[in-house]
Structure 1
Amino acid sequence: VEDGLIDEVISRLMSGKEADIFVVRCRETIRCAKVYKDAMKRSFKKAAQYQEGRKARSGRQARAMQKRSNYGRQEQEKVWQNAEVDALSRLARASVRVPETFGCVDGVLLMELITDEEGNVAPRLGDVLMSEEQAIEDYALMIHYIKLMLCEGIVHGDLSEFNVLVDESGPVIIDLPQAVNAAANNSAQEMFT
């Protein structure tokens, strides 16, 4: 809000393991703001597993992260947040339906709010009733998206009915801080399966 990227926080949408999600207004557009929780407040049992294979920008950054210094922890947070932004951008370019991003500043990721036909927040896949025909069509589309993700070298890491929203055009994949490098992460095949 202070930086002028968000004009108003409308409501809190949900609170998850790694972030709180808010519905916000940016001028005339309603968007979503993902506010990442501090690493000490996150409840990931497998955080190290997700981070394996992620590269530091410099040798200094890598050494600091290994030593777990204050600077190293701050840099680890940036790597965690940037992994989601990077994955969303790469997948969007690869024609995988993900929310459009509008920047990540000070631990806040501003992105498209996925809505249903009435303009309400789109439901999660696990909360949607659909015909058998629609389920088969959406399943085929999800398999296509998973293939495109793998072609980009990305495995979601936590792809489930809770991390797929459904709007009038079909499934939209969300929540990608657990995205892993398919080639550099030793657990990628297990996560993919």
Structure 2
Amino acid sequence: MKAIISLYKGDITKLNVDAIVNAANRSLLGGGGVDGAIHRAAGSELLEFNRKLGGCETGEAKISPGFKLPAKFIIHTVGPVWQGGNCNEDKLLENCYLNSLRLTVKNNIKTIAFPAISTGVYGFPLERATNIAVKTVIKFLENDDTIEKVIFACFDERTYQVYEATLESEKIPFEIYSID
């Protein structure tokens, strides 16, 4: 694995990376949380572009330009709504990360930032989602030498602490990412 793993606390829309991942809804036409923030920051061109994508199924991913964002691209993925853990939620969440990473490689993207997919209004338990995110990304990177940096972008302190503890418990070296 040649990629650097980074941990960032703050607004994902401020990151100057090749791509940010949007925790989108199935319509891809905007919503609340990180999805709404990305749509507001990218501008109305994102909505116009995404209308042509025809939506996205849970666990899948689609790509758009970043428009007014510092990021060149937005990878939209639809995380599962938590329903107690018996409705394939873990596999669907894993697929969000895998399909986003596959689009990263396909589009020659070197740096990517992920939010904590499905942990907001979709209700996925944070510790469980973080464990899936970290393990899926690390396993993918073990067989990829094209991605240079993966940033786990945490909007709040609690999410940041859970990611930090997960990376440390898995003995995964990481750096703290700052835009200051």
TM-score under structure 1 length normalisation: 0.27
Q: Would you tell me which structure has more strand in proportion to its own residues?
A: 1
Higher relative CO (CA 8 A, sep ≥ 6), structure 1 or 2? Answer: 2
Kindly name which structure, 1 or 2, has the bigger radius of gyration based on alpha carbons: 1
